Amino acid sequence: MTEESPKRARIDSHRDLIVWQKAMDLAEASYKLASKFPASETYRLVSQLTRAAASVPANIAEGHARSSRRDFANFLAVAKGSLMEAETFLTPAVRLKYVTATETGPAFSLITEISKMLTSLRAKLLPRGDP
């Protein structure tokens, strides 16, 4: 008796990618957290955080729509950069006590998870030895 390999889910759209779904969860969480920031941060941290967080799933979607694996991989690298920006903008929000570490915990956990997923997916798209 042999073990069957698990069936792979068919990916017809970027919406089928779990990493995109989790990035959308992060974008939503970031908007909710940013709504707690003071009005004085509307054009500063709020703007920066929400732009960076929304850029993550947007770049995953745009990369998935490209015609080559290399293009997709490049967009995943851009998505990871935006992800790190979002993390960076959340950090001063906690330090300035606009939100608590408890409130941002789920967002920071998502950032870690999405980062690992982007790295893994990008590695699968590129030939070995390609940066």
Q: What is the CATH number of the domain that holds 71?
A: 1.20.1440.60
| Residue 114 falls inside a structural domain | yes
| Residue 61 falls inside a structural domain | yes
Give me the pLDDT at residue 11, please.
77
pTM given for the model: 0.89
| Residue 131 falls inside a structural domain | no
| Residue 5 falls inside a structural domain | no
Among candidate residues 76, 83, 94, the one with its CA nearest the CA of residue 33: 94
Quote the domain boundaries for residue 35.
Answer: 16-125
Number of domains forming the structure of the chain: 1
| Residue 54 falls inside a structural domain | yes
Tens digit of pLDDT for each residue in 2-60?
Answer: 444 455 667 788 999 999 999 999 999 999 999 999 999 999 999 999 999 999 999 99
DSSP of 52-110 = HHHHHHHHHHHHHHSSSHHHHHHHHHHHHHHHHHHHHHHHHHHHTTSS-HHHHHHHHHH
**CA separation for the pair 128, 131 (Å, rounded):** 9
| Residue 1 falls inside a structural domain | no
Give me the pLDDT at residue 118, please.
98
Tens digit of pLDDT for each residue in 63-108?
Answer: 999 989 999 999 999 999 999 999 999 999 999 999 999 999 999 9
Instruction: Count CB-CB contacts under 10 A for residue 113.
Output: 15
